[in-house]
Amino acid sequence: MSFYKTASLSVALSMTAGVAFAETEITWWHAMGGALGDTVNQIAADFNASQDDYKITPVFKGTYEETLTSGIAAFRAGEQPHVLQVFDAGAATVIGAKGATIPVQDLLADNGVAFDINDYIAGVRYFYADTEGKMIGMPFNSSTPIIYYNVDALEKAGVSAPKTWEEFQSTTAPALKAAGYTALAQSHLPWIFTENFMSRHNLPFATNDNGYTGTDTKILVNNDAIKAHFTAVTEWQKEGYFEWFGTGWGDNQSKFEEGEVAMWLGSSGSFGGLLKKDLPFEFSATYLPYWEGVTKEPTQTFIGGASLFAMAGKSAEENKATAEFFRFLTSSDTQYYWHKATGYVPVTEAAYEKAAADGHYTRFPAAEVGVKQLQLPAGENTKGYRMGFYVQIRDVMNREYGRILTGETDVDTAFANIEVEANKLLARFAKTQK
């Protein structure tokens, strides 16, 4: 064989080998900044190092809202990423966009990845599912609201963390005030004092099974139970038991960290961050309180945070890569790493059991509170909600709740405004689905 033929054959073989062993590259748009972003990058790096066939590149796109907006714009332009992180309030928008996503359950099944929805912890199974119970989005950074408390402050006041709101206002709050503390603050009124108020008390949040079974949905937030709750909150504020430091998450969390506020309603996903801050007091956590006058059988809460959606319009090889990444992401090792590093709940039973077996909850009991709260008894209104344009509905709630807490309006007027404006937004969304 001549030199030229030998050289040509070598080049051809080299090119063939290059094609055979080329990595399939996929992108992941997310909204995890700071330390959370570092953890996301590490998960991506670990996946890439675990095999030679696929490579995922995470891209930070800003806030939840900015990431959702970017994802929608990219889909319309045919330039969508392979994986898009979408927060709870935006799920209906993405799920309702025809042809935008591949249901994660189908993606996994089509690519030979075993899937059983019962492998996921109870509180996360159906939030991102369709009316038939098929999982559409892969739960990722899942959390639920819990009550963090300053152990030193409660010991000084001679009280324990309240199980009910009746206990809070009759015993816990007065004692903490007498001990020199503001008893309570919270971050995110729509999520904690609205969405999870409804779930904790097993109250319907919207028609059509909380929006899962139809788009001609109406919100049911203008009810006596939640209005009584907000009336109580305004009374706590006047008594000095409760303070609202603004709509910013950190505005309220920082007052707890500084020791001014004895108890803070925040996310179970905040545990990791609080632990790293080395607070000047011991802290712990317990379940979100409930009104015994509303229910004697409190139920589980909704999850918050976000899920990962597999975007449509990609090649079979790219879809396979996404499915393999989801396999890696939901493995017990990865989920336990994510849980330890961030405080977000492990989304699978296997990862939860791994954390328990490793003694994580013996070392940090507060880390288990969110998981256990999501495993409390369920009710017909606790799997989640599915309302379009819900990001804008939350904006209406924040505006009206701010007006209540600054004395600009009364509770009845505020909830009447929320009901009217929310239902207009829901009607607009319904038209986009026809």
Chain centroid to Cα 171, Å, comes to 32
With contact defined as beta carbons under 8 Å apart, do 81 and 96 qualify?
no
From 222, 170, 226, select the one nearest 201 (Cα to Cα): 226
Phi and psi for 114 in degrees, rounded to 5?
A: -60, 140
For residue 280, give the 3-state DSSP assignment: coil
- The owner of tokens 């809202």 is 65
Could you give the maximum distance between any two Cα atoms of the chain, in Å? 97
CA atoms within 13 A on the CB side of 6: 3
Cα dist from 310 to 51, 65, 139, 142, 390, whole Å: 20, 18, 12, 17, 21
With contact defined as beta carbons under 8 Å apart, do 137 and 315 qualify?
no
Chain centroid to Cα 422, Å, comes to 21
- The owner of tokens 């996921």 is 120
pLDDT of residue 5: 44
C-alpha–C-alpha distance, residues 405 and 246, integer Å: 10
Chain centroid to Cα 7, Å, comes to 57
Q: What is the pLDDT along the chain (434 residues), one digit of tens a residue?
A: 443 444 444 444 444 444 445 899 999 999 999 999 999 999 999 999 999 999 999 999 999 999 999 999 999 999 999 999 999 999 998 988 889 999 999 999 999 999 999 999 988 999 999 888 899 999 999 999 999 999 999 999 999 999 999 999 999 999 999 999 999 999 999 999 999 999 999 999 999 999 999 989 999 999 999 999 999 999 999 999 999 999 999 999 999 999 999 999 999 999 999 999 989 999 999 999 999 999 999 999 999 999 999 999 999 999 999 999 999 999 999 999 999 999 999 999 999 999 999 999 999 999 999 999 999 999 999 999 999 999 999 999 999 999 999 999 999 999 999 999 999 999 999 999 87
With contact defined as beta carbons under 8 Å apart, do 203 and 217 qualify?
no
Query: Distance between terminal CA atoms of the chain?
Result: 68
pLDDT of residue 97: 86
pLDDT of residue 298: 98
Cα dist from 360 to 32, 142, 341, 343, whole Å: 24, 18, 12, 11
From 342, 366, 374, select the one nearest 151 (Cα to Cα): 366
With contact defined as beta carbons under 8 Å apart, do 205 and 419 qualify?
no
Q: Which helix (H) or strand (E) holds 184?
A: strand 182-186
With contact defined as beta carbons under 8 Å apart, do 86 and 94 qualify?
yes
From 82, 104, 100, 81, select the one nearest 90 (Cα to Cα): 100
With contact defined as beta carbons under 8 Å apart, do 319 and 229 qualify?
no
Q: Which helix (H) or strand (E) holds 432?
A: helix 411-432
